Structure 1
Amino acid sequence: MITPTHELPATGAPRPEFPRPDWERADWLSLNGAWSFRLNPGSDGQEELWQEQKESEFDAQIIVPFSWVSPLSGIGRNEKGTGWYRRGIRWSPAQTGSRLFLCFGAVDYSCDVWINGTHAGSHAGAYGSFELEVTGLWRTGSDNVIVVRAEDCDYSYQARGKQGYGELRGIWQPVWLEARCSNYIKSAAFATRIDGSVSVTATIEAKQAGAAVLAFDFDNGAVRHSEELQLSEGANEISVSFAVDEPRLWSPDTPSLYEGEVRLASEAGEDAVSTYFGIREIGTALFGDRSYRWITLNGKPVYLNGTLDQSYHPTGYFTYPSDEEMRDEIYLMKRLGLNFVRIHIKPEEPRKLYWADKLGILVMEDMPCFWGNPDEAARAAYEREAREVIERDRNHPSIFSWVMFNETWGLKTDDQAPDQTRDWVPANRYLPETQQWVRDIYRWAKQLDPTRLVEDNSPCNWDHVESDLNTWHFYKNGYEIVREHVEGVVDQTFPGSTLNYCEGFTQSDAPLMNSECGNVWGIEGGAGDSDIAWHYRYMLNEFRRHDKMCGFVFTEFRDVTNEFNGYYRLNGTEKRFGYEAFVPGMTLTDLHSPDFIVIDAPPCQTVDASAAVQVALLRSSFDDRHFGKTLRLSWELWFDDLGVRTVADQGSVALEWNGYGVSPLAPLTVRMPDQDAVAVLGLKLSTLEGEAVMRNFTTFDVRSKAHDDAAEESSRRISVPVGQFKSQTFPYQWNAIQGHKTNGGGAGMFEYEIALPDQAELGFLSSVDIYFEAGAKRLLVRNIEGDVQIKADISFMHGADAHTERNSNTYYMTDEERHESRIEVCIDGEPVESFLLPDDPADSRGVLSWHYQTVANKLEEAGSYGYLCKVSVPGRIAAKLDRTRKLLLTIRTDEGGVALYGRNAGRYPIDLLVSCN
């Protein structure tokens, strides 16, 4: 496997930048780096009074800010319990008389802090940031000792989220010291409107009452405003409004930020905070005569092309090693054409949210769930932590939605199950009183932050109660199954419908979107590590067919430890979707275009040679940039004729591009080739100036009938099924895809006896050419030891072993990693040709391997394909064959093995083909 390149900086402490670019002061000190550490897994350690112990009593060193479970922490122990941290530090604020605060990005779960042996404060909650004022405990100009006790015992009431891939334990976000004026700005929440009006609700903490000026200076002085205040001692709540002339609106395409400072000047001195805001409005609206709403950004419909981000790192777990890696995460999403991301079951680190703001991607941020019963302790802990998260993150313009719960996790009550006499009855229930609490949480969040959309519960059990977004989850595989499912949901989505809502609740006109989808769990036993390219393309075509749908969340951005349906591998390496092989220049971004041509057809269909086939098309538009213009739709029907790209039909049509939503276009009628072929109908939508807007394609398995006058021709082309070998010598050999694919694992050879046309059929052999499709053969554990069926259940959410190479569905999707093999071709024992087979690939290019899968919920080497190999037999051997009229074909391989593809497998509709002339 390709090893991750992620590592800590060679010198200095990790994560040296200020942890919160959205709220930054100049006088601060990072405490990231090496701390003394002791882990007490069997005891809470408090009775041992570790806060009073000397350095020598701590038996290890940990690198903050990494969870003690993660490799980058230097500890790497997945043990719950109590972690004790100790660090000595000497630091003095730049300004005499400053107040000093010790700040924590996040600590899991309960935390106590001592400064120089005196208890400074406590906090509970794994995801919220907190700070402790330590002014009176700090020894300016001399050494200080900080001791932190972090306890994480996985109590059922804890908001843990989805930590199965790697636990959060102890300190897992940056720690720093910060100096502030005695009167300081504690917080400032910005609310913007697209007319340029900005409202700010600020909290000022004052030790000294009196007159003050609160000033705003943004965009290099272009935006300025000040307010005269009269402060009282303690907390002061301030509301301020100002306007921005000719506002630049924030969006994923134009992520304009107004960066600058908020300053408080008083007799106590001046407090300055660097911050920023983005001017944008999130909402929903009715358009035309529709009875359902669309999601809007800045007053216009927006189609959300999104992905689920577990925000998991292979070495830091839920903590990124560097700021650059967080920035690159957003870049990697945007280069796919995505415009939003759902951060799954956790709030994101503030610095990663900063890069979402800066580079431009919308964020749906989840609240972390607890896994026990929704009792009083769990509810209180959840509500406290949810408030911390929303109040910390609400200034990020990228965040457009809060998701309060996911898939009813933590909302079911174990001890109030219904009658257990039927084994299909679930072991616990989502009780009406819990449903009402969820509704109350939705309304509380709306009151706390009315500028964003709020979802009560992102459901997979049809269990909304009240929500700004009517979303649903599905994990299904197979074109017909996905089509039927999506149509069913769309048809039953209307105000008053009971679909997707708990008993006693009904749908409003809230926008419909998918908030989790993919084929990872749509296959019996899980998809393992297999191709997603085929499924992804037809699924997105199905979504864009429906005017009601406002977007989707694909599971997921990167592979994780037991789910392998990411756009990227966990280590950041790329997967190859192969779309460019069908339409030149096509990438994933084409499937994420706001202007979209829907091909309302299966991903592949079997048709007769020379048939005229009608293909239905739709236009789907969620962007007005081309409204009022003419776009050109060009199309080409082509096929690969034994290595020669051959165009069978083509044309273009001008389209007047106007209006949001989905509407029909005139269908295309295309004439199929007159021979067996995998025909591709490629579409390209472009401006009249030639700029590509989007590309799409569909495929056809073209099958020819015997021609009346083809006797002579057929005698010259001998087709031998790949499974009809005379002998083989591989240590591992098996057939797949209904016998149309033959595999040889390890070093070995296949031998085929092939009869050539006799002299009555063909008087003279002037040339003999042999064609076949072959790929390398990567041996998996299941090929050697047999497969293992794993039950896909909730344990996968907690990191259960997927036994990937034992999964019968696994066939690794093409990626940067290669598995080469070299084969040698012999005729009657004499070597005539050799080929380097670059890989054992599987992706959308394996059209026939996908088309001839027998069932949708099980995969048999789906999407696999090889490389076209042509052997021109030398004249001296052809002369011998002219006499004998038979040949012994041997395909010998090294340890890389070989897979041979027949008529109904792979990329080319041929078996072993011998052409004689």
Structure 2
Amino acid sequence: MVTEAMTSGTATMPRPEYPRPDWQRSEWLNLNGVWSFRFDPNNEGIGHCWQTIDETAYDQAITVPFSWTSPLSGIGKDVKGIGWYRRTLNWKPSEAGSRIFLRFGAVDYSCDVWVNGAHAGFHKGGYGTFEFDITDTWKPDGDNTIVVRAEDHDNDYQTRGKQGYGEIRGIWQPVWLEARPQAYVRDAKFVTSLDGRVDLTVAVQAHKAGPAELTLRFAEGAVTHTQQLTVSAGENKITASFTVNDPQLWSPETPYLYEGEIRLSGDFGLDTVSTYFGIREIGTSRFGGRGYRWITLNGKPVYLNGTLDQSFHPTGYFTYPSDDEMRDEIFLMKRLGLNFVRIHIKPEEPRKLYWADKLGILVMEDMPCFWGRPDEIARAAYEHEAREVIDRDYNHPSIFSWVMFNETWGLMSGDMTPGLASDITKRDGFLPETQQWVRDMYRWAKRIDPSRIVEDNSPCNGDHVETDINTWHFYINGYDQVRAHVSEVVEKTFPGSDFNYIGGNVQTDAPLMNSECGNVWGIDHGAGDSDLAWHYRYMMNEFRRHDKMCGFVFTEFRDVTNEFNGYYRLDGSDKHFGYEAFVPGMTLADLHSPDFLVIDAPPSQTVEAGENVTVPLLRSSFSDRYHGHTLKVSWELHYDNLGTRTVADRGIADAAWDGYGVAAIAPLTVGMPKQDAVAVLAIRLLNEAGETVTRNFITFDVRGGEESGVYDAEGAFVGIPVGSFAGNSFSHQWEAIQGAKVNGAGHGKFVYDVKLPDQSVQEFIGDIEILFEASAKRVLTRNVEGVKEQAMGVHYMHGAAANVEHNPNTYYMTDDELHESKVNVLIDGERIASVSLPDDPADSRGVLSWHYQPVANKLDEAGSYGYLCKITVPGRVAAVLDRSRNFRLELEADEGGLALYGRNAGRYPIDLLIRYR
């Protein structure tokens, strides 16, 4: 039995809020919470009348609305097949004569429902919302029993989408009861125009004919419309139009919603639905005489900075535990400066779409795919699901695009395995008749929703048929490789080109954008878990230097079970990109600015000390905010001089900011330091008030020309390569980055024999300082057990989990989890100092660890770096060393281990240095 606490919206009920804030009634009862449950492995439930048997026959309890596979369900078993749900409750609507509906957010995959033993209805499809009118079987003054039989076998024809991380099985979105009068508004669809005109199509369901009045009231009464109707028994289609004066447009920057209600009144009573609409127009258009289009929002070009969202949660799987977590998802995206998200191969939960509407982020929503072959059964199932998705989500202003298919999944009839293809021309199995079906689906979606952009197939195999946007996927690592690939795609994109198309179809002037990118699959065996900050920054520069490109989708928003390329960890915790160390105040949002400064140069390059280097710059503008203005480019070349931040060069220059798109501005010529350094060219774009619009940077590996390095500091130096240790006592020890980095696991030490110059070179040695770059050493499984390769077939596309630490490319990116170590520094057996190493980090600050990677798609502790340690040798010890000129240096780590970085690894361009004077 349902208790009062379970229906009162307290913390004991999961997801207590109304499931559809875009279409909400006040008379309702939330049925989330504990239901009785039973698996039916032998499909005997119907034959044994489980729909009518006593609750004691159900042997488990399940928490709705969570998939029975998920931890939050209380079951937590990935069992295919049949599950039965049962719940008894009493509820009476406040208005006598109300009709009662039992509503389901989604059930995967098919379900039958009984109320008080009477069959209420059947539904098939894992993502669509549905309802049953149960008025005739509901007992307003007594107990009522609801029984649901859900069946999920992962059939090839099922629209499964990107399940596999955690399966959706059974009820996985909220369930609720709802009361309505005898005539009610079943649906309404809004189409808005920038001049304020709103056209509305309203579906009214009536149980008898009669007069009625339709009233629209929004924006606290500022927008109203009333019209008289005569409704017929059954379904009625009614059109209405009104104009909003001084319309406030919806956009990610100003997500204005006209909130209000639709009322239908008559002698049957009053039906009131709370809803909202946003005034915005999505389109594509040419600008400035170009032969290609850009995507537009409200008539203006918009650069789409987007991410791929798998919408997966570790405890609820594809069902969010709370409304707050759905809201926070949108907040975390906007915090990065993103303005759009691609929901990957599934429709999003309505409440998360509400937060996208409310907080302001554009949504590209995919249709869920099937994974079998495109036979008649699969096509029919898909078409039914697509209709439900578009019908449910039509009014969300945040949704700007429907994606009908992804990477030809479910479209192959031959032997080709769906998924990633390294050869864009590999198209076997995508038959002409299937291509025609894809075209039909594209045109069908355009017919029923001409207000949005529709994409036929988001391709990795170069197989568009007909589409509003020309997108492509790539997963390539390495600056030169990414630059060449993006340039090739841009050059081959023009009206009439057959590049990225199939079956004799050719490109139109449709906008070009990327719809999946990242380095997670561009690495041999997959990237595992690795720093993405370095790759991400140069990829953004490559995208923004091309005038044709108008957006991207980065894979992905959060890590998932087999992909660790997220901006955030799976639990939502931060990764640390480290950009602020190069340009104060810089974050990821700077790389997503609509007004952007492109540094048209590699992320790092080797130069000679004192050299003058010319750096090309481009402006990329997809906002008219500063058009016609003269902005300032403020730049500074700085470097770390053995712990002291030093500015080598700086300046400020004017930049005319006129018009949309990409154009060259004056290059910078900068003078390099006259010593070994990692030099940073940090630039800021300033508006006329001196406020920062965006930030960017590149780095230089400055070589002084001497083997031991050249440093502008008082005293002289002895340089000792970190790999030249005389011995070590670690249980496990290895080298990385071509020997420029040495690692020791757990407790142990590295021992170095140090020889200072004799008296003929340096008569007196007064002060001695020891400098080295070091970090803790997080030991991975592969460091001990060796590398284990994982096959990347269809099961991997389904989200098969892997032990990431077996991956040869894994090195955890810096995040909130710290791995500390402590190092004692000993001279001739005497401890002279101790150093705390806070972490074993890897991110964009590991410039040299990235710069000296020998192979772009095989990572060797890429991005790893340490902390600059400076140890002053006590005077009494220095006096002894002045006499002996030789000593034994020991760097002894506790259980946190030790990594030492040489001249060509880490963050600082030094070997182990002994400074004396």
* TM-score normalised to structure 2 length: 0.97
1:877 partner amino acid: V
Q: Is the 8 A contact 1:715 1:757 kept in 2?
A: no
Partner of 2:343 in structure 1? 343
Q: Is the 8 A contact 2:23 2:275 kept in 1?
A: yes
Is 1:501 matched with 2:501? yes
2:637 partner amino acid: L
Partner of 2:11 in structure 1? 11
* Partner Cα distance (1:180, 1:712) in 2: 81
**Cα pair distance change 1:311/1:603, threshold 3 Å:** same
**Cα pair distance change 1:527/1:233, threshold 3 Å:** same
Q: Is the 8 A contact 2:102 2:178 kept in 1?
A: yes
Task: Map 1:33-112 onto structure 2 (within 5 A).
Answer: 33-43=33-43, 45-112=45-112
* Partner Cα distance (1:686, 1:660) in 2: 18
* Partner Cα distance (2:710, 2:658) in 1: 51
Partner of 1:837 in structure 2? 837
Q: Is the 8 A contact 2:814 2:842 kept in 1?
A: yes
Task: Map 1:132-531 onto structure 2 (within 5 A).
Answer: 132-414=132-414, 429-531=429-531
* Partner Cα distance (1:620, 1:711) in 2: 38
Q: Is the 8 A contact 2:676 2:711 kept in 1?
A: no
Partner of 1:625 in structure 2? 625
* Partner Cα distance (1:598, 1:110) in 2: 51
Q: Is the 8 A contact 1:44 1:81 kept in 2?
A: no
Partner of 2:420 in structure 1? none
**CA deviation after TM superposition for structure 1 residue 43, in Å:** 2.8
* Partner Cα distance (1:742, 1:532) in 2: 23
* Cα distance per residue 1:133-152 (max 9 Å; x no partner): 00001001100000000000
> What secondary structure sits across from 2:47 in the alignment?
helix
**CA deviation after TM superposition for structure 1 residue 801, in Å:** 2.9
* Cα distance per residue 1:731-761 (max 9 Å; x no partner): 0100110000000000001110010010000
Q: Is the 8 A contact 2:675 2:712 kept in 1?
A: no
**CA deviation after TM superposition for structure 1 residue 710, in Å:** 9.1
Q: Is the 8 A contact 2:69 2:75 kept in 1?
A: yes
**Cα pair distance change 1:426/1:631, threshold 3 Å:** closer
* Cα distance per residue 1:485-514 (max 9 Å; x no partner): 000000000000000000210001100000
Partner of 2:689 in structure 1? 689
* Partner Cα distance (2:746, 2:627) in 1: 58
**CA deviation after TM superposition for structure 1 residue 458, in Å:** 0.3
**CA deviation after TM superposition for structure 1 residue 35, in Å:** 0.3
Q: Is the 8 A contact 2:424 2:461 kept in 1?
A: no
1:835 partner amino acid: V
Partner of 2:797 in structure 1? 797
**CA deviation after TM superposition for structure 1 residue 708, in Å:** 15
**CA deviation after TM superposition for structure 1 residue 424, in Å:** 14
> What secondary structure sits across from 1:345 in the alignment?
coil
**CA deviation after TM superposition for structure 1 residue 859, in Å:** 0.2
Q: Is the 8 A contact 2:772 2:868 kept in 1?
A: yes
1:575 partner amino acid: K
Partner of 1:123 in structure 2? 123
Q: Is the 8 A contact 1:634 1:683 kept in 2?
A: yes
**CA deviation after TM superposition for structure 1 residue 428, in Å:** 6.0
> What secondary structure sits across from 1:136 in the alignment?
coil
1:93 partner amino acid: P
Task: Map 1:633-644 onto structure 2 (within 5 A).
Answer: 633-644=633-644
**CA deviation after TM superposition for structure 1 residue 211, in Å:** 1.2
**CA deviation after TM superposition for structure 1 residue 657, in Å:** 1.5
**CA deviation after TM superposition for structure 1 residue 798, in Å:** 1.4
1:504 partner amino acid: G
Q: Is the 8 A contact 1:470 1:513 kept in 2?
A: yes
Partner of 1:420 in structure 2? none
* Partner Cα distance (1:426, 1:545) in 2: 29
Q: Is the 8 A contact 1:768 1:916 kept in 2?
A: yes
**CA deviation after TM superposition for structure 1 residue 44, in Å:** 6.0
Q: Is the 8 A contact 2:708 2:718 kept in 1?
A: no
**CA deviation after TM superposition for structure 1 residue 691, in Å:** 1.4
> Structure 2: where are the runs of 5+ without partners?
1-8, 418-422
Q: Is the 8 A contact 1:776 1:838 kept in 2?
A: yes
Partner of 2:807 in structure 1? 807
* Partner Cα distance (1:64, 1:641) in 2: 60
* Cα distance per residue 1:803-830 (max 9 Å; x no partner): 2001110000000000000000011111
**Cα pair distance change 1:708/1:805, threshold 3 Å:** closer
Partner of 1:676 in structure 2? 676
* Partner Cα distance (2:711, 2:90) in 1: 94
Is 1:609 matched with 2:609? yes
> What secondary structure sits across from 2:870 in the alignment?
strand
* Partner Cα distance (1:101, 1:703) in 2: 75
Partner of 1:658 in structure 2? 658
Partner of 1:742 in structure 2? 742
* Partner Cα distance (1:27, 1:769) in 2: 76
**CA deviation after TM superposition for structure 1 residue 706, in Å:** 4.5
**CA deviation after TM superposition for structure 1 residue 888, in Å:** 0.8
**CA deviation after TM superposition for structure 1 residue 792, in Å:** 2.8
> Which piece of structure 1 moves more, 407-416 or 24-33?
407-416
| Count of residue pairs brought into register by the alignment | 904
1:534 partner amino acid: W
* Partner Cα distance (2:710, 2:504) in 1: 69
**Cα pair distance change 1:314/1:359, threshold 3 Å:** same
* Partner Cα distance (1:655, 1:909) in 2: 34
RMSD of Structure 2 on Structure 1 (CA): 1.8
**Cα pair distance change 1:835/1:657, threshold 3 Å:** same
Q: Is the 8 A contact 1:788 1:803 kept in 2?
A: no
**CA deviation after TM superposition for structure 1 residue 631, in Å:** 1.5
**CA deviation after TM superposition for structure 1 residue 46, in Å:** 2.4
* Cα distance per residue 1:816-858 (max 9 Å; x no partner): 0000000000111111111110000000000000000000010
Partner of 1:5 in structure 2? none
* Partner Cα distance (2:839, 2:213) in 1: 68
* Partner Cα distance (2:293, 2:765) in 1: 71
> Which piece of structure 1 moves more, 729-738 or 42-51?
42-51
* Partner Cα distance (2:896, 2:306) in 1: 38
**CA deviation after TM superposition for structure 1 residue 707, in Å:** 11
**CA deviation after TM superposition for structure 1 residue 416, in Å:** 10
* Partner Cα distance (2:415, 2:306) in 1: 38
**Cα pair distance change 1:44/1:201, threshold 3 Å:** farther
Task: Map 1:717-732 onto structure 2 (within 5 A).
Answer: 717-732=717-732
* Partner Cα distance (1:722, 1:302) in 2: 50
* Partner Cα distance (1:357, 1:842) in 2: 36
**CA deviation after TM superposition for structure 1 residue 266, in Å:** 1.2
Q: Is the 8 A contact 1:472 1:515 kept in 2?
A: yes
* Partner Cα distance (1:110, 1:322) in 2: 25
1:898 partner amino acid: L
* Cα distance per residue 1:121-177 (max 9 Å; x no partner): 000000000000000010011000000000001111110001010000000000000
* Partner Cα distance (2:428, 2:567) in 1: 35
> What secondary structure sits across from 1:239 in the alignment?
strand
Q: Calculate percent identity across the aligned residue pairs.
A: 66
**Cα pair distance change 1:635/1:44, threshold 3 Å:** farther
* Partner Cα distance (2:261, 2:425) in 1: 58
**Cα pair distance change 1:10/1:261, threshold 3 Å:** closer
**CA deviation after TM superposition for structure 1 residue 267, in Å:** 1.3
Q: Is the 8 A contact 2:158 2:370 kept in 1?
A: yes
**CA deviation after TM superposition for structure 1 residue 627, in Å:** 1.4
2:35 partner amino acid: W
* Cα distance per residue 1:311-331 (max 9 Å; x no partner): 000000000011000000000
* Partner Cα distance (1:792, 1:411) in 2: 20
Is 1:589 matched with 2:576? no
> What secondary structure sits across from 2:220 in the alignment?
coil
**CA deviation after TM superposition for structure 1 residue 630, in Å:** 2.4
1:700 partner amino acid: F
**CA deviation after TM superposition for structure 1 residue 292, in Å:** 0.4
* Partner Cα distance (2:241, 2:358) in 1: 24
* Partner Cα distance (2:730, 2:714) in 1: 33
